Amino acid sequence: MTPGPILPEERIDWPGGAKLALSVVVNVEEGSEMTIARGDRGMEPVDELGVFVKSNIRNYSNESNYLYGIKAGAPRIVKLLQRYDMMASWTVAALALENHPDIARAIVELRHEPVSHGWRWVHQFKMDEDAERAFIRRAVASIEKTCGMRPYGWLSRYLLTDNTRRLLSEEGFLYHMDDYSGDIPFWDRETIPGKPMCIVPYQLDNNDMKMWTDPALTPDQWLGYAKANFDQLYREGEEGNPKMMSVGLHLRIVGRPGRIWALEEFFRHVRAHDEVWIATRRQIADHFMTQQAA
């Protein structure tokens, strides 16, 4: 039987001939999640305790669970990022940094990149155009104040609207993360005619949230999957088709003492390979945009 044609793979060359670009993404949502204390109609539905109820009462227990990420999880993650010299992009809900300025200082001192995860960690996709524009502008102003620099990338909470990319472009953003369609950046030439936007895809399968949404997933299993993903993409780079890998982290998830070891083991695995470009998403976007014309 004659094999069918193999579709050509999109190609990008990383700096220094690296076989793989690794993007470490640290999500900071703690201190901006939904609560009636911030004027929301109810409590935050993402609740590891499993006590979410549709009622206008305050869920102090879940709020304290989120706070764990700030008090205990963040120091562990920052320590590992420093120990293994890992560049990271911090997708921050801006209000979280206003409420916890130590996190903003850490981002700045590490010389990492703040990426906007909205002004608050709320459902942006429910907003009309004017409300979404105001939401984006408020996030930019807030992050500029806490970090001393504006964000150039954006990650929504779950979903985007028909207006999101156009509004981001109008507000000076260079790249967008709300895409899960591939393993390398690409140009979106359709959303805004005549003004393409760089899309830096975000892979969810390596995300530590899998240990939250599926508590039966152990840190060993998460580590095994992340290493297998890394090894496959690295192999593809050796074969002449370099890719990028995203690893999504949360302070309150992988920052737990029973999980943090798995992140360290993954970092050790990465550092055992010489030809890996560990970069912020801004660096990856900038490199892509200089390599491939819009």
Q: Cβ–Cβ contacts within 10 Å for residue 210, how many?
A: 17
pLDDT band at 83 (very low <50, low <70, confident <90, very high): very high
Residue 252 above 80 pLDDT?
yes
Residue 266 above 90 pLDDT?
yes
By C-alpha distance, which of 200, 215, 131, 133 is closest to 166?
133
Region 252-275 average pLDDT? 97
Element (H, E) at 257: none
Region 50-61 average pLDDT? 86
pLDDT at 52: 81
With a pLDDT cut of 70, the percent of the chain lying above it is: 97
Q: What is the DSSP string of 216-239?
A: TS-HHHHHHHHHHHHHHHHHHHHT
Q: Cβ–Cβ contacts within 10 Å for residue 86, how many?
A: 20
Residue 62 above 70 pLDDT?
yes
CA distance 167 to 185: 20
For β-strands 243-250 and 20-28, DSSP reports them as parallel
pTM, full prediction:
0.94
pLDDT band at 2 (very low <50, low <70, confident <90, very high): low
pLDDT band at 5 (very low <50, low <70, confident <90, very high): low
User: Per residue in 106-116, pLDDT tens?
Assistant: 999 999 999 99
Residue 7 above 70 pLDDT?
no
Taking CA atoms, 72 is separated from 31, 65, 87, 237, 284, in Å, by 14, 11, 21, 37, 30
Domain ranges of the chain: 15-291
pLDDT band at 50 (very low <50, low <70, confident <90, very high): confident
User: Per residue in 214-234, pLDDT tens?
Assistant: 888 999 999 999 999 999 999
Mention the CATH class of domain 15-291: alpha beta
pLDDT at 282: 98
CB within 8 Å of 3: residues ≥ 6 apart = none
Look over the chain and give the mean of its residue pLDDT values, rounded to a whole number.
94
